[in-house]
Structure 1
Amino acid sequence: MSPLSRDSFVAVLAPARVTLLRAARGGAAPCASSDCEGGWSGAADALQGLLREAGARRGRLTVVLSSHFAHFRLLPWSDAIGSPAELESFARIGFEDIYGPVAAGWALRISPEAAGRPRVAAAVDKALLERLQSIAQGAGLSLESVLPHLMAAYNRLQPRLARDNFVFAVAEPGRCSMLLARAGQWLSVRSSACGDSERAVAALLERECELTGIGDPAAGPLPTVYVHAPGRAAGEWPAVEGIAPQALALGGGDAWQDMALAVAS
């Protein structure tokens, strides 16, 4: 088998459903999906079964994690931090302050930013990452990357966002994750359980804007509000702080197929 014939898969792991897609030029084609339960462990079991059924032998696997399986935190700038190791320790202490000792078992990724600017930290259970690595190896695949959906969607849609002042919301089933930026710097990151209606998402965004003051005209230019809702038909969203949100879409299909498009080109 030549390298050109190797398969490239994208898996989307969510609490109630796992979807496996075969990546190809121009997007990703669904292979199979499976309902699941039992948190990330149940989702990993379902993925292992789907890869076995797909007959995966050689190739690559990219995993998109629902934001149900990730945690996020804004890291303020500190002049006292002088190395990547100190930055990770600072981030880990912050997660442990919020979530307790369980955060000691999380793997962290921190956004690169210019000196003096806040950073966004994402945390995923190390045991989940190790399980995914084991599943990929067992299927003869190379695990290329594991990305929380919020970060994958932001990376893909970032060219379409306003540069300095914006609210970016990713409304996947049962959860809404938000990135807020003001004056070109991160202001807030939050992920919360949320109803699937447009009104529920707008109410959550309204509350976050009020908490951060980003919608206050006295604080500076009003932000542009963006909502990316995988699997949801494009339409008008209720105003947030008097601002009409712009819907950002990546494609058609159900929510989990749409989530795969954040990493499938």
Structure 2
Amino acid sequence: MLPLWRDQLRIGVSPHAIVLARIGKGLRPYVREQHIEPCPPASGETWQAALDTLAKLLSREKWQNADAIMTLSNHFVRYLLIPWNTEINGEQEQNAYVKHRFSKVFGPAANNWILHHSQTAIGMPRLASGINQTLLEGIRQACVTNKLRLRSVQPYLMPAFNQYRRIFQNESAWFVLVEHDKLTIAQLGRQSWQLISTHLISNENLAAELPVLLERHLCLSGIKNQPSQVFLLAPEHPQLVLPRNNDWVIQQLQPVPRFGLPIQTYALVMGEH
């Protein structure tokens, strides 16, 4: 198979399931294979059962010899906004500053995480993420062992947000991303991320919990002139009905379909890397 025409293997990794979609390359990409494999309950690290399930799946020939694009559930990611610091000079100092902030917030556990941070406009906070180093090494090893070229690994927040980035170019608003038992909530200004946090939620009580979490952020942020516009992406909850609330204008985003895959079950692998 010519490298130019290698298939793309879209992989979604969550505590509940591994989502795979093999996309044939060419002028009209199409789905060669698709599969969802449930993960057994975690008995140790929250990610270990998912990693073991992934390695077992990738050992099957039909998933090998492709370019891997991987999305990690927000269950496996810690986010932090890094304040702008005028005393930072250069990338090395910035990396050390990010590491210091993570250690201060998350404690010794952060010493075992691989940290990444976004570029930003001068004076604005940076969005940073931390992922367990052993998990990432296990993912890379599973790819190498099974003849996969790992082209990208990103937290679910980023490819999901990238589909709707244009919405936030000219206004301040909230972005809420919902997956199974997990909610990520962020506030974005016209130039940067302003707030971010993740929460365990009850799938059954999502409609009632969301306004409460928004109010909590409003109280804790201390930021004046908070936006009332909320953009909600909840592809696993197509029948979600939110209660009427005069304090918030909640618009449910329609997931962008890709490759002809069913949106509700394959949303984790549809984002823009």
Q: Percent identity?
A: 25
- Residue range with higher mean Cα deviation, 100-109 or 204-213: 204-213
CA gap of 1:221–1:15, structure 2 versus 1, over 3 A, is closer
Cα deviation for residue 33 of structure 1 reads 1.8
TM superposition shift of 1:159: 1.8
Task: Tell me: CA distance 1:239–1:30, structure 2 relative to 1, closer, same or farther (3 Å).
Answer: farther
Residue 54 of structure 1 and its aligned partner are, at CA, apart by 5.2
Query: Structure 1 stretch 137-146 or stretch 34-43: which is displaced more?
Result: 34-43
Q: TM-score, normalised by structure 2?
A: 0.86
Instruction: Give unmatched runs, 5+ long, in structure 2.
Output: none
Quote the residue 1:200 is aligned against: 209
**Match for residue 176 of structure 1?**
183
Tell me how far 1:65 sits from its aligned partner. Answer: 0.6
Query: Is the counterpart of residue 230 in structure 1 residue 235 in structure 2?
Result: yes
1:153 aligns with 160
Of 91, 95, 99, the match for 2:102 = 95
Q: Displacement of 1:253 after TM fit?
A: 3.1
Structure 2 counterpart SS, 1:108: strand
**Change beyond 3 A, Cα 1:194–1:93:** same
Is the Cα–Cα contact under 8 Å of residues 238 and 245 in structure 1 kept in the other structure? no
Q: CA deviation at 1:256?
A: 4.5
Contact 1:20–1:50, Cα closer than 8 Å, also in 2: no
User: Of residues 62, 66, 82 in structure 1, which corresponds to 2:69?
Assistant: 62
Q: Is the CA contact 2:121–2:191 (under 8 Å) kept in the aligned structure 1?
A: no
Query: In structure 2, what residue type is equivalent to 1:220?
Result: N
C-alpha contact (below 8 Å) 2:168/2:190 kept by paired residues: no
Question: Does structure 2 retain, via aligned residues, the 8 Å contact 1:48–1:135?
Answer: yes
Q: Report deviation, 1:5.
A: 4.2
Query: 1:21-32 counterparts in 2 under 5 A?
Result: 21-24=21-24, 25=28, 31-32=34-35
> Hey, what's the Cα distance between the residues in 1 that align with 2:200 and 2:16?
14
Tell me the amino acid that sits aligned with residue 36 of structure 2. Answer: S
Contact 1:205 1:240 in 2 (8 A): no
Give the structure 2 partner of residue 141 of structure 1.
148
Give the gaps of 5 or more residues in structure 1.
none
Task: Give a deviation string over 1:85-111, Cα, whole Å, max 9, x none.
Answer: 111111111111122112111111111
Q: Residue type matched to 1:73 in 2?
A: L
Q: Aligned residues, how many?
A: 260
How far 1:160 sits from its partner (Å)? 3.1
1:23-50 deviation line (CA, Å, top 9, x unaligned): 3556767622222132212111111222
Distance in 2 between residues matched to 1:18 and 1:114, nearest whole Å = 36
2:145 aligned partner, one-letter code: G
Q: Alpha-carbon deviations, 1:55-93, whole Å to 9, x = none?
A: 233221111111010000011111111111111111111
What is the SS of the residue equivalent to 1:55?
Answer: helix
* 1:180-224 superposed Cα distances (whole Å, 9 cap, x missing partner): 12353322111111122222233222322332256xxxx337342
Deviating above 6 A after TM superposition, structure 1's stretches of 4 or more consecutive aligned residues are: none
SS in 2 for 1:242: coil
Between the aligned partners of 1:163 and 1:151, the Cα distance in structure 2 is: 19
**CA RMSD for the aligned pairs?**
2.3
